[in-house]
Structure 1
């Protein structure tokens, strides 16, 4: 039982790490799109 809990916790933290990376990527991506968009309108 203890082993199982530890295992689940590990999986959960790994998944959270992946999720955070994904969010960061998506945020960077949208930020770049927006800045390109703005530059396009300025020039």
Structure 2
């Protein structure tokens, strides 16, 4: 499934990433701290 980073809360995204174990927490940190840059990117989960 694909989600725009701006459509998910930090907690929702963190839970999905931990469950899928496909993206590091460092990547999560970068997404949540660069919302303007990442708003147009699609995040594969």
Normalised TM-score (structure 1): 0.30
Greater relative CO (CA pairs within 8 A, separation 6+): 2
Instruction: Give the strand-richer structure, 1 or 2.
Output: 2
Rg larger in structure: 1
In the superposition, the TM-score normalised over structure 2's length comes to 0.28
Structure (1 or 2) with the greater helix fraction: 1
